[in-house]
Amino acid sequence: MKTVWARVFCRLLVALMIWTPYQIATAGMIGTDQAVTASAQSDRAAVLGFANRGDVARQLQTLGIDPKTAQDRIAALSDQEVQSLAGKIQSVPAGADSGDVAIAILVIAGIAVLVWYLWKRM
């Protein structure tokens, strides 16, 4: 019984943790990002961006990030950047490779063209 309550309580805390950091606007002041993107964005789009923050934070967690870190990382994104990730976090580029390997492939491709050229000439 005790563990059930503990679990419910923990879930509540996690939900609150995900929710709170996005409510950072000072009361009554219209934020600069709102003013800057006003022409392109309606209130609806702003609300969508807000909802997406939670979604993207959860996606980050499924990719191996703990909830607190995910929330900090999402908080550093602009609304547009959040939109660009929503639903696409598995498909957008993730820079990782060693450049040395990468260049080696270019060199191999270059050699291939050269070999082909020599073969044609013979």
List residues near another protein by CB under 8 A: 24, 26-38, 42-43, 60, 62-65, 69, 72-73, 75-78, 80-81, 84-85, 89-90, 92-103, 105-106, 109, 112-113, 115-116, 118-119, 122
Whichever of 6 and 25 has its CB closer to another protein, that residue is 25
Distance from C-alpha of 117 to C-alpha of 115, rounded to nearest angstrom:
5
Give the C-alpha distances (Å, rounded to integers) separating 63 from 7, 9, 25, 70, 89: 23, 25, 29, 10, 9
Q: How far is the CB of 50 from another protein (least distance, A)?
A: 13
Q: How far is the CB of 15 from another protein (least distance, A)?
A: 22
Give the C-alpha distances (Å, rounded to integers) separating 38 from 11, 21, 32, 43: 36, 22, 9, 9
Whichever of 3 and 90 has its CB closer to another protein, that residue is 90
Whichever of 4 and 94 has its CB closer to another protein, that residue is 94
Q: How far is the CB of 17 from another protein (least distance, A)?
A: 17
- Report whether 86 contacts 55 (CB < 8 A): yes
Distance from C-alpha of 102 to C-alpha of 36, rounded to nearest angstrom:
39
Q: How far is the CB of 1 from another protein (least distance, A)?
A: 36
